Structure 1
Amino acid sequence: MNKGILLKACVCVFFSVVLLCEALPTPPPGTDPKRGGLLGQRTCSQGLYPSARLCCLNCPAGEHQVSPCSSDRGSSVCSECPMGTFTEHSNNLHTCLPCTRCRPDQEEVQPCSPTNDTVCRCKSGYFCALEQPCEVCQRCRSCKDGEALVKSCTAHSNSECAKTPTPGTPTKALWWILGVSVFAVGGVFCVWVYKKRNPWLTCLPSPSPGHSQQGATGHGSLEIAQNAHNVMVDIPLLPSEEPRSDGSVNEDDPGLGSSSSETSLTVQMPPPPACPVVFRCPSARNDDDSLLVPLNGEKSLKLCFEYFHVDMESKVHKRFFRSLDLSDNAINNANIEDRVYELLGVWLQREGQVATLHHLLRKLRDLDQNRTADSIVEKAIDNGHYERVVIPPLSGKSDE
C-alpha cells in the first residue's frame, strides 16, 4: 500500500516539473548575455561579426563600430579612435582601447597612435624580465669586488657577473674536465675488472648440444684452444702424429687416435649464455594540451571562451589577463559581467592566427589553476570543438 502511494507521488512530481520547464520562456538565439553573442558567430566567416540575422564587416584598425550594417555582408558605420585610444586590428568594438600610460620608472619609446598602443620600457639602470608581468622595474645589479661584468644590463635582463679567478687557481672549466676524465677512467677500469671476473659476459654463438669439431688442422687446434679459453675450459694441444706403415696407432696415443697426418679432436663445449638486448622506449604522453586540435579552426577557439567565463574564478582574472600581456587599463575598463569575453576577444584580435587554446591553458596551469584547465579541456572535447591526437607508445622487442 505504501509503495503504491509513493509511486503515485513520484509520477505527480515528475509531470509537474515537465510542465514547469515547458512554461518557461525560451530566449531567442544569440541573446544570451553570458555567451556574448558567440552563438551567432557560427554563421559568420572570418572578418565578419553577427548582428541580428546579418553578418557585418569589421571596422578597420584605428576605428571602432558606431552602428552595425543594414544588409548582409555590408559595411558597418565606423568612427576613428579619439585621441588617447587605439585598435590594432579589424574589430567590431563599440569603443577603442585606452592607450597605456608609462609609469614613472619607465620611458616612452613609441607614442600611442590610433593603430598602435604606447611602447614603454624601463629607464636606464633598471630592467623588467620579459617572461614576467612588468609591474615594477627593478634596479640593475652592480658587480662586487672580485667580480667581473659578463653581460651588461638591458631593459629586459639583469646584469651578469662572474668571480675573477686568482692567478694559479684552476678555472671552473678545468675542474669539469678533470672530473669527467677521472670518472671516465674509473668507469673503464671497473668494466674491465668486472669482465675479468665474469667471463660469461662475452656473447658467443651458442653451439647446439652435442656439437663437435672433428678433423681440426693446426689452425683448427688454435681456434679450439681460443674458444676453450673464452669459456674457461682447458684443452691441451696435441702434436701431430704420423701413422705407421702398418696402419697401427702409437701406444703413446692417449686414446684419441689419428687417421691422418694431423690430429683429430672432439671437443664438447657448454653453450654460452644468451645476451638479449632489449630496447624500451617510453610511451608518449597522451594528456598534453599541445595535442589538442581544433575541429573548426578559429570558431572552435571562440566557442571555448564560454568555458573560461564559467569555470575561471573572478579572483584569478587580473593575474590571468596580465599573463596574456594585456594592460591594466584594458582590464580595469572592461565590463565586469562580460570581462572574460571582451578581454579574450581583444587578445584574439591581437594574436590573430597564432592564437591557440593551448596557450591559454598553459597560462592557467602556470597560475596553478590545473582543475580549471582540465575542466575546460574536458568540455572542449565533449562538445566536439577539439580532439586530442593520440600518439601510440613504442614497444621494445628483445632478440632471443
Structure 2
Amino acid sequence: MRSAALRFCPVLLLLLAKVHLGSAAAVKKRAVKSDVLKPDPYSKKCPMGTYLANDSSRCLPCKKDEYTEYPNDFPKCLGCRTCREDQVEVSPCNSTRNTRCACKNGTFCLPDHPCEMCQKCQTRCPKGQVRIAACTQQSDLRCGPPLDNSSSFTTTGIIISTMLPVVLVFLLVLLCCCCCRRYSAGSGGVLSRKPRAMVKILLQRMGIQDNNCNEQIYQQQQQQQQQLLTTEQGSEVPRGVEVEVEEVAPRTPNVETQRNLVPVPGKDPITVLSSSFNTFVDLVPFPQWRRFGRALGLRENNLYQAEQNDRESGEPLYQMLIMWLNKEGSKASVNTLLETLSQISLSGVADIIASELIRNGYFQYEVS
C-alpha cells in the first residue's frame, strides 16, 4: 500500500500544476480583455496617449515615438518632434507629451513668434546704455539708460521738497526767538524798527504768527513795567526811562494809572501824534491790532482796507492809526490810544509806549 501511494504522488502533483496554470491563464486573459479602453460615450473621443481604432469602438495606445496630448478621435497618434541642430532637448517625448526643445545658450526665440530658427543674443549694450536683463532662451539682451542718475535726482528732489518747508519754519521760529531775547535784554525793551518790520513782513506773507512769542513779549512788558512802578527812591533807574517815584496803588484793569500826555511845546499836535504811530507799531503785539482798531471805533471794512493798503511793509496797524486820525480829526489824542490799550488788557504796553514817547521828545506829562 505504501509503495502504491508513492507511485501516485508524481501524478497528483502534475494534475495540481496543470489546474493552477490553467486558472492563471484565464485570469490574465480576463484582465487583458478588461483593460481595453473605449471612447467616451458622449464626446466619442479617446483619452490622451491613445487613438481611435478603425472600428471606432476601441482606443488603442500610442506606439513608441508617438503621442497625443489631448482627448481626440485621431485614427493614429502624432509623431514625436526631433530638436533642430540649434536647439537642445529639454524633455523627451512620451505617449502624452511631445518633445520639448529650447534654443542653445547665447541664442533665443521669442515665445509669441514661430521659432523657425534661434537668433543670436547681443553681446553688449549700445554706448550710453546699461544692461537691464541678461539674454535668456525666450528673450534677447535688454538694455536701457542708466538708472542711478535719475534715481538719485528723484530722491534728491523728494528730500528737498520735503525738508524745505521745515527749514523755513525753523528759521522763522529761530528769528522770532532772537527778537524776543533782544526785546527783553534791550534798554527799555525797545527794538529797532527795521528788524521787527522785516519779521512782520515774513510772518504776514507766510501766514505764520508766533502767538507764543507775542504773549511772552506782553508778559515781559507787564513784569518790566511793574518793576519800574515799584522801584523805591534811590534805586537804580534804567537808562532812557523817566520814572516818577511815588507810591503806586494796586493796579486794576481798565483804570488809568498815569497822567495824561501833552505835546512838547512848540510842536504841532497832529504832526507829533502821527509821528508817535511808529512807536505804537513797534510795541503793540501784532495779533492785537484788529482788536485795538475795533476798540477805537473802526469798522471791519476799515480794518480790511488798512490791511490791503499796506501789503508791502507788513504794518497794517500804521494804516489803521492813520484812518483813525482822519476819522477823529482835531479830537484825536495820544491819551485816547493809551486808554484804549488799557481797556483791552494791554495797560503794560501802554505804560511802556508812554515812557518811550517821552524819551523820544514827542510828549511830556501834563502839569496839574
Normalising by the smaller structure, the TM-score range is 0.3 to 0.5
Q: TM-score when scaled to structure 2?
A: 0.33
Q: Which has the higher helix share?
A: 2
Higher relative contact order (CA 8 A, sep 6+): 1
Indicate the structure (1 or 2) with the bigger Cα radius of gyration: 2
Q: TM-score when scaled to structure 1?
A: 0.31
